[in-house]
Amino acid sequence: MAKDTDRLTLYKELEKQLKYSRFVHTMGVTFTATSLAMRYGADVKKAELAGLLHDCAKYVPVDEMERICREGGLEISSFERGNSALLHSKAGSVLARTKYGVTDKEVLDAIRFHTTGRPGMTLLDKIVFIADYMEPGREEAPDLSIVRPLAFSDLDQALLQILSDTLDYLEGTGKKIDPMTRRTWEFYKTMVQTEK
């Protein structure tokens, strides 16, 4: 987003590309991410761009997601194959680069890891991951009244809470859990406890 005209064009383009409910979610993630960026001194424009594009591949058919990842040079694990919940973030980071012209690696990584997180997340990764979970349109998570204020006082504690709740939720549904989601949780559990 070099110029403001590009920025406004992107908002308009996403409104066209996404289902209306997904566009409203995207707006929620974008302004939550920019607020967190202001709070923690992250780059506000990068937070805006990553928030806007984080779900840009959400409605791409899953075989197309796989093709986009392969052509973008991202390997697909046997675990991810056929799983659009996991592949839309990876494919989204490729589309952000190839279709929307994003070159910033930090922004592309924040999009790529917004579903599973990763050990050693950057500040921008954490901001987008957390904003995705707690934006105003989210209602289903059990602990939002804890996570929302916590995110503005202790970002890593909020991250750990979200990871624990996501794992509990996935275990409850019997869905297979990506090894990356577990590794991220283990990493932050150890880190947050060691800090105490």
> In terms of Cα–Cα distance, which of 91, 130, 133, 98 is closest to 112?
91
Phi-psi region of 76 (alpha: psi -120 to 50; beta: other; left: phi over 0): beta
Query: In whole angstroms, how close is the CB of 141 to ligand DGI at the nearest point?
Result: 11
Q: Which is nearer to ligand DGI, 9 or 179 (CB)?
A: 179
Segments in the chain forming alpha helices (H): 4-17, 20-40, 44-53, 62-71, 84-98, 105-112, 123-134, 144-153, 155-173, 179-195
Query: In whole angstroms, how close is the CB of 57 to ligand DGI at the nearest point?
Result: 10
Cα first-last separation, the chain: 40
Q: Which is nearer to Fe ion, 55 or 109 (CB)?
A: 55
Say how far apart CA 176 and CA 116 lie, in whole Å. Answer: 13
CA atoms within 13 A of residue 106's CA, in its CB half-sphere: 14
Residue 178 found at the interface with Fe ion (CB under 5 A): no
Q: Which does 46 bind (CB under 5 to 8 A by kind): ligand DGI, Fe ion, none?
A: none
Residue 66 found at the interface with Fe ion (CB under 5 A): no
Query: In whole angstroms, how close is the CB of 24 to Fe ion at the nearest point?
Result: 11
Q: Which residues bind ligand DGI (CB under 6 A)?
A: 55, 58, 83, 85-86, 89, 114-116, 132, 166, 170, 175-178, 181
Q: Map the footprint of Fe ion across residues 36-65, applying CB under 5 A.
A: 55
Q: Map the footprint of Fe ion across residues 123-152, applying CB under 5 A.
A: 132
Q: Which does 34 bind (CB under 5 to 8 A by kind): ligand DGI, Fe ion, none?
A: none
Residues lying near Fe ion in the complex (CB under 5 A) are found at 55, 132
